[in-house]
Amino acid sequence: MPYVNVGKENTGNIDLYYEDHGTGKPIVLIHGYPLNGASWEKQVSALLGAGHRVITYDRRGFGQSSKPTTGYNYDTFAEDLRKLVTQLGLRDFTLAGFSMGGGEVARYMGRYGSKDVSNAVFISSVPPYLLKAADNPEGVDGSAFDGIQKAILADRYAFFTEFFKNFYNTDQYLGTRVSEQAVQSSWNIAASSSATASLACVPTWHEDFRKDLARVQVPTLVIHGDADRIVPFAASGQRTAKMVPGARLVVVKNGPHCIIWTHPDEVNTALLNFLKEEKKLELTAPA
């Protein structure tokens, strides 16, 4: 299995598991909390079918990657991503982040600029700034995040059970757009994550990415469900699309947080059309 080394903790290596499939223009898919790279399966097949090289990886603390007790902040996450990109020698690639993964897309652009990045995609993503503050009245009250951390500390397994109800809006979609088995699979993946990562990632959700988004200078697609109960559309996707000049916004009607699973046709159509149109623009651009 392929891994990239991103550091050490005491005597142990910190390695990220990744998968690299297909040929053509690369796209790096960055997963959300508390899942892993395999959560993109409905997009991977579509992207491979459209002729893309598709790279997924597990964030530190999740999936088959190492589970250190350090590095759970977006500067480190972006640095981890940079090491993966460098090891694979990627050029002219798309960065796509779901949920928490959108933070990596933003922070990567904020720290490293748009060199070699051709497109950016934010799906149900946490930018620009989820925490309510004096200069950010549209954000979410900090007590909500405090409550999540308390629930994880008390019993993270019970927390995950409740979390996935709103992740998929199971009261609406269980048995139609998501099966009990798919929800159980998500719970199993979450339960296998690092206890440290499960807790430490929560404060990162309300990182301030506004300065990072100001550095996004590539064609950008924002996809978000208007019934997202985890990352509210009005506080996130709607604002991100306004902050990135020229960004294209696709709103999935009645879409919950995990639209990459419940509404794959809408997500894949928007994603593939965006990538196809950007490719056409490149081909017709003057030399």
In the residue annotation, 52 being an active-site residue is answered as no
On the CB side of 125, how many CA atoms lie within 13 Å of its CA?
A: 35
Question: Of 99, 125, 186, 198, which residue is the catalytic one?
Answer: 99
Please report, as a single letter, which amino acid is at residue 273. Answer: N
The alpha helices in the chain, defined as continuous H runs, are: 41-49, 74-88, 101-112, 142-168, 170-173, 180-191, 195-200, 210-213, 237-243, 259-262, 264-284
- CA 188 to mean position of chain CA atoms: 19
Q: What is the DSSP letter of 165?
A: H
Please state at what angle helix 142-168 crosses helix 180-191, rounded to 10 degrees: 140
- Cβ atoms of 67 and 61 closer than 8 Å: yes
What's the token pair of residue 266? 């809408």
The 10 Å CB-count burial string (b at 16+, else e) for 258-277 is bbbbbbbebbbebbbebbee
Question: Of 52, 58, 228, 236, which residue is the catalytic one?
Answer: 228
| Sign of the alpha-carbon dihedral angle for 36, 41, 42, 43 | positive
- Rounded to whole angstroms, the Cα distance separating 198 from 122 reads 22
In the residue annotation, 99 being an active-site residue is answered as yes
- Rounded to whole angstroms, the Cα distance separating 86 from 81 reads 9
CA distances from 203 to 111, 145, 160, 200 (A): 20, 7, 17, 7
In the residue annotation, 257 being an active-site residue is answered as yes
What's the token pair of residue 77? 């996450």
Kindly list the catalytic residues: 99, 228, 257
